[in-house]
A = this chain, B = another copy of it.
Amino acid sequence: MKERESPAVVHTDSIEWVNVGEGIRRQVLAYDPGLMIVRVDFKSGSVGAIHHHTHRQATYVARGSFEATIAGKTVTLKEGDSFFAAEDVPHGVVALENGTLIDTFTPAREDFVGSH
């Protein structure tokens, strides 16, 4: 079991990447129990399948472009765009090119840090 909060400063070079699907890898960045930032890299064409969870999520497109589906509505997002998924709202993405999403959650995704 990892600590329930990150150090105050998290250098990307010092933390692990976790493969979470075909062409998708994730780094858990700064967090405490109430707030977590997660960086997710996608190779072009990779699919973050539609899913939902009780955590509220706000996501920022840091690089690339994505087709995102939130609550059944599909939009194209480019760098600088963002979306919000409230509790239990289904959401998913398809990477239209290589790209990076910054996913933020409240509360933290304890399931991302408790099992490895």
Q: Is A71 part of the contact surface with B, judged by Cβ < 8 Å?
A: yes
Chain B minimum-CB-distance residue to A27? B80
On chain B, the residues within 8 Å of A5 by CB distance are 84
* Given A8-B73, A37-B60, 18 new contacts (CB under 8 A): A8-B83, A8-B84, A8-B85, A9-B70, A9-B77, A10-B82, A12-B79, A27-B80, A29-B82, A30-B59, A30-B83, A31-B58, A34-B106, A37-B104, A60-B62, A60-B102, A62-B62, A106-B106
Residues of A within 8 A of B (CB): 5-13, 27, 29-32, 34-37, 39, 56-60, 62, 68, 70-71, 73, 75, 77-86, 89, 102, 104-106
